[in-house]
């Protein structure tokens, strides 16, 4: 008889793992995801990527605002799950749920715990100039991301790594390893390792106020901000009354006053060195390579960006 699995997830990051579980020997008896929300444009109500995928696979979907009601707890118990797999669900799992499944709750967390517990581990690892990231297969406990892990897989971060590319890589890594992890748990062969809580760092949710580029920062930190906030919300500056987002840049050796435009190719000075803008987007316009952008835009060398 197939072991019953409950899956809990919400964003695109989670979809590969759900697809893998659906095609496996395990039975996905229910999928939990965040309720449909109004989009920022047009106020159209949109279902989460996991919601849409689950419906396309004819899986039962639950979208509770919270899990605290007695009816929700009783329904969860009625599913009699062997294990619950959580991938970026977006809600804290109440304590009274944790002992319901035979083998508990397993979370695929997008960092090398205990580093970057919390909501935005992918963005924070890039923005803080980490050289590597990865996933941690961990047991969920009452405290946020403090559970023991039994498998970690590492990937490199370089000057071309963006939040989107790292998210894609880690999403694939989680999906490729989830079945092996479930089999280890099923056969009581998973070796859980307690985290060193003294080394914990926290990845708080990205605030849009962080996305403005500060030219008095180092070139490396600015590149990391650009990469870490790509694709959302995007790192930006203002020039001549308009906002511009930088989507791709590299470090240059030219020097000048922070924020100064150093040449006609739109190289901009930072606290030390400068950055060479490679992809840019003026507010209300499409994203362009710097070459195409400069064909219709006159750069004033010596101007100071805000």
Which of 175, 203, 231 corresponds to the end of one domain?
Answer: 203
Let me know if residue 283 belongs to a domain. Answer: yes
pLDDT of residue 218: 97
Looking at residue 41, what is its pLDDT?
Answer: 65
Tell whether 178 and 216 lie within a shared domain: no
Stretches where the chain sits below pLDDT 50 are none
Task: Give the residue numbers spanning the domain of 248.
Answer: 208-295
The domain total for the chain is 2
Whether 21 is in a domain gets the answer yes
Query: Does one domain contain both 266 and 212?
Result: yes
What pLDDT shows up at residue 44? Answer: 82
Q: Which pLDDT value is given to residue 39?
A: 74
Q: Are residues 87 and 192 in the same domain?
A: yes
Sheet holding 105-109, edge to edge: 61-62, 27-32, 4-9, 83-87, 105-109, 132-139, 149-156
Question: Distance between CA 76 and CA 233 in Å, rounded?
Answer: 36
Same domain flag for 38 and 165: yes
Residues 186 and 255 in one domain: no
Residue 276, domain CATH: 3.10.25.10
* pLDDT number for residue 58: 98
Q: Could you say which of 185, 203, 221 is where a domain stops?
A: 203
Question: In this structure, are 21 and 73 located in the same domain?
Answer: yes
> What pLDDT is stored for residue 40 in this prediction?
66
Do residues 193 and 259 both lie within one domain? Answer: no
Q: E-assigned strands of the chain?
A: 4-9, 27-32, 37-38, 45-46, 61-62, 83-87, 105-109, 117-118, 132-139, 149-156, 202-203, 235-239, 242-252, 267-269, 274-282, 288-289
Q: Between the CA of residue 171 and those of 14, 136, 181, what are the distances in Å? A: 7, 12, 15
Residue 304 lies in a domain: no
pLDDT score at 83 = 98
Domain boundary among 203, 221, 240: 203
Mark whether 63 and 90 lie in a shared domain. Answer: yes
Is the link from the previous residue into 240 a cis peptide, with omega within 30 of 0? no
Q: Do 172 and 37 sit in the same domain of this protein?
A: yes
């Amino acid at each position: 008889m197939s072991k019953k699995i409950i899956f809990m997830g919400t964003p695109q990051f989670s979809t590969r793992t759900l697809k893998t579980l659906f095609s496996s020997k395990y039975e996905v008896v229910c999928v939990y995801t965040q309720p449909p929300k109004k989009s920022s444009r047009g106020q159209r109500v949109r279902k989460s990527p996991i919601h849409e995928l689950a419906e396309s696979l004819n899986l039962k979907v639950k979208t509770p605002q919270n899990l605290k009601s007695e009816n929700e707890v009783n329904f969860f118990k009625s599913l009699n799950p062997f294990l619950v797999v959580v991938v970026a669900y977006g809600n804290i799992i109440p304590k009274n749920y944790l002992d319901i499944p035979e083998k508990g709750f397993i979370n695929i967390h997008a960092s090398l715990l205990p580093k970057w517990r919390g909501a935005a581990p992918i963005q924070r690892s890039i923005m803080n100039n980490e050289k590597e990231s990865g996933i941690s297969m961990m047991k969920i406990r009452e405290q946020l991301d403090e559970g023991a892990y039994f498998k970690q897989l590492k990937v490199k971060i370089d000057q071309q790594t963006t939040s989107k590319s790292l998210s894609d890589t880690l999403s694939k890594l989680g999906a490729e390893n989830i079945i092996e992890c479930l089999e280890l748990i099923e056969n009581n062969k998973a070796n859980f390792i307690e985290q060193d809580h003294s080394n914990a760092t926290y990845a708080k949710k990205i605030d849009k106020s962080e996305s403005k580029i500060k030219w008095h920062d180092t070139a490396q930190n600015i590149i990391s901000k650009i990469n870490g906030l790509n694709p959302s919300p995007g790192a930006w500056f203002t020039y001549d009354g308009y906002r511009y987002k930088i989507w791709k840049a590299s470090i240059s050796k030219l020097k000048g006053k922070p924020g100064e435009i150093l040449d006609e190719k739109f190289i901009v000075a930072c606290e030390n060195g400068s950055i060479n803008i490679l992809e840019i987007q003026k507010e209300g316009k499409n994203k362009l390579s710097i070459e195409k952008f400069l064909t219709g835009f006159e750069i004033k060398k010596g101007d100071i960006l805000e």
